[in-house]
Amino acid sequence: MSSLIWILILILVFGVPLLRNLRGRSKGSTGNQKQPEAPEGTAPVPKKHFNFPVRKILPVILILCVVLVLALGSFYSVSEQENAVVTQFGKIVRTDTAGLYFKIPLLQSVRKVDITTHGTGVGYSVSDTGQNITDESDGIMITSDFNLLNIDFYLEYKVDDPVAYLYYSEDPEGILKNIALASIRSVVSNYAVDDAITTGKNQIQADVKETMMQELEKNDIGLQVVNITVQDSEPPTNEIKQAFKAVETAKQGADTAKNNALQYQNSQLPGAEAQADKIVQDAKAAKEARIAEAAGQVSRFNAEYEEYSKYPAVTKKRMFYETMEDILPDLKVIITDGDTQTLLPLDSFSGGQSDDASAASGSSSGSGSGTSGSSPAISGAYGGSTAGNDNPDTAASEY
C-alpha cells in the first residue's frame, strides 16, 4: 500500500509541472508567431491557434492514477511464513494464510504476522558479536535446599493465534518472558542443587514447559512454546564450581567402578553356572549308577535266593567255594604250634604266593588226621581254624 502511495505522489510531483510547461509553450507559440502576409489579389489567410487541452487532460490523468492506485491496493499476497489479519473499521474480518487475496481499498487494512519459530535466551542475552552475556538478575535461582544456582534457558516460541498476538496484549514477547521466568523459578525451587546441575535437567525442562503452556493458555497472548532447554547450570562462584566438579568426578568414578564390577560379574557368572550345572549332572549320573548297581545286586540276590530255596546244600557249597576262590589268593598262612611267641609268615620261607596257597591247602587237608594238641594249626583271615574238619558241608555251614 505504501508503494502505491509513493507512486501517486511522484506522478503529482512530476506530472503537474510537466503539464504546466506544456501549457506555457502552447501559449507562447500562439502569441509570438507571425502570420504570413497574403499575396496581392488574394483573400487573407485566417490565423491558426494551437491550444493544448491541459485542463481537460489533467483531471483524466489524476483519475487514472487514483484508479490505478486503488486497483493495485486491492490485492495483497501472504507468504508461507506469514498470516494476515484483515480489519474493517477496526473490526476483525478474517485471517488469511499463504496466497493472493483481495480487499476493499481504503476500507479494509491488512496486518501480517510472522508465524515462524523464534528463539530467545532466559538468564542471558546474545551480543552483536555473538557472545553470550549472563544476566544475573534473571539467571540466579534458589533451590529446595536453599542453595543459589546460576541456570540459563533457551526458549523457542511461535505465534499460534495472530489475532490474539496483535490485539489481545500490548507486548506479547514481554509477557512471555515474564511467564518463563516465573515458571523457571517455581520449578527450580522444587529441586535440590545436585539434581539441577546433574541428573535433573531433563525433568526440569519438561516441568517448565508444561507450566508455561498452562500459563499461556490462561493469558491467551497468541504465543506458543515450542521448546525450552537448559543451556547451562552451574554454581554462582568459582569455589563452589570446583567443589561440584570434584563431586561430579567422584560420581563418574563410582559409576565406572560399578560398570567394571558388572562386567566382571557377567564374565564370571556363565563359567560358575556351567560348573554348577556340571556338578549337578555328575551327581545325577552317580545317583543313577548307584541305583542301577543296587538294583542289579538286588536282582542277583533274588536269583541266588531262588536257587538256594531249591537246593540249599548245593548252593551252600557253591557259595563256599566261590568265596574261597576270592579269599585264598590274598590269604597269608601262618604256621604255629601254639607256644611259639614269634610268628613268621610262610611266604618268607617260600618263593611265591602259589607256594603259600598250596601250603595252605596241604595244611588244610592234612590237619584232619592230626591231634589238636600236638599238630600245627592253620589260622586264616576268619580268625578260626579248619583243623579236624574234613566235611565240606560243616566247613560251609561254619562260613
Pair 108, 125 in one domain: no
Instruction: Give the domain-ending residue among 67, 85, 113.
Output: 113
Instruction: Tell me if 178 is assigned to some domain.
Output: yes
Last residue of a domain, one of 257, 290, 310: 310
Same domain, 248 and 159: no
In this structure, are 128 and 200 located in the same domain? Answer: yes
Same domain, 8 and 103: yes
Grid cell 544456582 — which residue? 149
Q: Could you tell me if residue 93 is inside a domain?
A: yes
pLDDT band at 24 (very low <50, low <70, confident <90, very high): low
164 plus 225 within the same structural domain: yes
Residues 251 and 194 in one domain: no
User: Minimal CA–CA distance to 150: which of 196, 183, 195?
Assistant: 196
Determine the average pLDDT of the residues in 357-386.
40
Say if residue 287 is in the same domain as residue 319: no
Q: Looking at the structure, tell me whether residues 150 and 198 fall in a common domain.
A: yes
89 plus 199 within the same structural domain = no
Q: Is 388 left (phi over 0), alpha (psi -120 to 50) or beta?
A: left
Cell of 73: 491496493
| pLDDT tens by residue, 25-67 | 555 555 555 555 545 555 555 554 445 555 666 677 777 777 7
Q: What is the reported pLDDT for 383?
A: 39
What pLDDT, in 10s, does the model give residues 152-172? Answer: 999 999 999 999 999 999 999
* Calpha distance 65→59 (Å, rounded): 10
Instruction: Answer yes or no: is 37 within a domain.
Output: no
Task: Out of 310, 333, 365, pick the residue that ends a domain.
Answer: 310
Does residue 208 sit in the same domain as residue 265? no
**Structural domain of residue 152, as residue ranges?**
118-236
> What is the per-residue pLDDT across 313-342, written as a single tens digit (0 to 9) for each?
888 888 888 888 888 777 776 666 767 666
What is the count of structural domains for the chain? 4
Does 43 fall in a domain?
Answer: no
- Based on the domain organization, do 9 and 105 belong to the same domain? yes
Beta bridge partners of 95: 85
Q: Residues of the chain with pLDDT > 90: what percent?
A: 37
Give 242's pLDDT tier (boundaries 50, 70, 90): confident
Q: Give the chain's length.
A: 399
State residue 3's pLDDT score. Answer: 52
Is residue 39 a part of any domain in this protein? no
